[in-house]
A and B are shown apart, each in its own frame.
Chain A
């Protein structure tokens, strides 16, 4: 009986996962998509990404210094924000654009609110929305054609990405032919493997899928949000009047990038399980509504931003009853 017992408050068993490791794993999961993008659009992609990450890290360090906090740029969260912002930019944007976007993301969406863990809105997406509102031309026109293909994934049409082609088919020729071509097996194949134009990180659905599944398997990313998101998109494609097929809507645009890597951000998504299902489904519904009836060809980034805004409310509405707490309606539960 010489052994001493340590008496302490819970938790008593700790996992190995921490912020540093999780951020590094997410970055690793994004590297295949980034490398493929460099192959598609050239070295420019790497320069944009480097500027975005550099500005993001520099702003984080500067803000933490100014606010008198501990400088924590080595945790990788600023690197990830910069990387995700770069993934959301068209490849031909001027080089100062990512720097401004990163600065807005880190300063206004993250650090002023108290830094990592306290931002209510996804910083990278806030940066993208800011750039979209300020320089819409760069954000919607600065596309590049991929190395061995066309911007639209269809031979002969070189001036629109698949989603904007679907939205404004009449501007590029006979709409019925274009829609049929878009839903063609060859086009879907191009979209799935990423042989199309688009934002830096969104083109290859396959590589994003691999990275995303890796994160789900090691449980960095919660499957509830991803499944809720993709399933609600799939259901709505059948229910609502859209010209695109299921495969087209799932693989095109930034859906996989958003569903696997941005909607699942730990800080800006709900903590309750029920809340995560609601969050995912809400993202899916808003995405499809914007794609079909909205003012933009793609709705992923705004749908996630809007659900970020609703997250605190979802959390408080789906709060679980604490063990021992009386139920509100029935009083004492038998």
Chain B
């Protein structure tokens, strides 16, 4: 069994959710136009990912596994994550206005994202305990945040470059992201993690 620190580093850098697993690309490209927006998105992802890993872990081990309903995994997880986040959003709006304003529009945006669902599945597939699953979700969320903020800073600079009109916007962003992934290959094999 890997230690929580290694699980965190693996999810954070080595198997970065964006640059190595290629999950969650829609928020990565859609919400990375400015560093400030990207930071908000990153925070929302960390928050929702951790929450989702808890609730799905509980549901999987308390309901799906005992009643032999594992085949319902995908549908159950999507539904529970979406409704949970909606509930939390309403709760935050009433009780924690500051946090609600900070996470803002990004909270509902990220709810149905493949990255969130992917992490809950990976938690199950890796047979993580609740603690390790939390660490894994946190590491993935922080990895997402690091990469999207860095990418937003790069895109702010790309806005000023004399890029061919046919490539401006998303096309050059995809090329930039691929070069970033190339650089992140430097982390592959770090601490023997694959």
**Which residues of the other chain, A, contact B64 by a CB distance below 8 angstroms?**
none
For residue B99, give the distance in angstroms from its CB to the closest CB of chain A.
23
Are B163 and A290 in contact (CB-based, < 8 A)?
no
Contact of A295 (CB < 8 Å), options: B156, B179, B182, B189: B189
For residue A196, give the distance in angstroms from its CB to the closest CB of chain B.
23
Contact of B186 (CB < 8 Å), options: A112, A306, A315: A306
A296 at the interface (CB under 8 A from B): yes
Are B179 and A108 in contact (CB-based, < 8 A)?
yes
Residue-wise, chain A 113-150 has the 8 Å CB interface mask toward B (1 for contact) of 11100101100001001101100000000000000000
**Which residues of the other chain, B, contact A185 by a CB distance below 8 angstroms?**
none
A-contacting residues, B173-194, CB 8 Å: 175-176, 178-180, 182-191
Are B157 and A120 in contact (CB-based, < 8 A)?
yes
For residue B32, give the distance in angstroms from its CB to the closest CB of chain A.
12
B167 at the interface (CB under 8 A from A): yes
Are A294 and B186 in contact (CB-based, < 8 A)?
yes
How far is B180's CA from A333's CA once the two chains are assembled, in angstroms?
A: 40
**Which residues of the other chain, B, contact A76 by a CB distance below 8 angstroms?**
none
Classify chain A: how many residues form its interface, as a range.
Answer: 35 or more
B110 at the interface (CB under 8 A from A): no
How far is B190's CA from A302's CA once the two chains are assembled, in angstroms?
A: 12
How far is B20's CA from A45's CA once the two chains are assembled, in angstroms?
A: 35
How far is B162's CA from A67's CA once the two chains are assembled, in angstroms?
A: 11
For residue B76, give the distance in angstroms from its CB to the closest CB of chain A.
37
Are B183 and A316 in contact (CB-based, < 8 A)?
no
B124 at the interface (CB under 8 A from A): no
Closest to B188 in A: A295
**Which residues of the other chain, A, contact B188 by a CB distance below 8 angstroms?**
295
A112-B163, A113-B163 are known contacts. Are A121 and B187 too (CB-CB below 8 A)? no
Residue-wise, chain A 305-324 has the 8 Å CB interface mask toward B (1 for contact) of 11011101101100000000
Contact of A289 (CB < 8 Å), options: B150, B184, B190: B190
Closest to A132 in B: B185
Closest to B167 in A: A112
Closest to B151 in A: A309
Closest to B149 in A: A313
How far is B179's CA from A309's CA once the two chains are assembled, in angstroms?
A: 9
Are B156 and A129 in contact (CB-based, < 8 A)?
no
B35 at the interface (CB under 8 A from A): yes
A-contacting residues, B152-170, CB 8 Å: 153-154, 156-158, 161-164, 167
**Which residues of the other chain, A, contact B82 by a CB distance below 8 angstroms?**
none
**Which residues of the other chain, B, contact A207 by a CB distance below 8 angstroms?**
none
How far is B183's CA from A303's CA once the two chains are assembled, in angstroms?
A: 8
A-B complex: 3 closest residue pairs judged by Cβ atoms? A295-B189, A302-B186, A114-B161
Q: Using a CB–CB distance below 8 Å, which chain A residues touch chain B?
A: 67, 108-109, 112-115, 118, 120-121, 126, 129-130, 132-133, 286, 289-290, 293-296, 299, 301-303, 305-306, 308-310, 312-313, 315-316
Known: A289-B190, A309-B184. 19 other contacts (CB 8 A): A109-B179, A113-B158, A114-B162, A120-B157, A120-B158, A130-B182, A133-B182, A290-B187, A290-B190, A293-B190, A294-B190, A296-B189, A299-B186, A306-B183, A306-B186, A309-B150, A309-B180, A313-B149, A316-B156
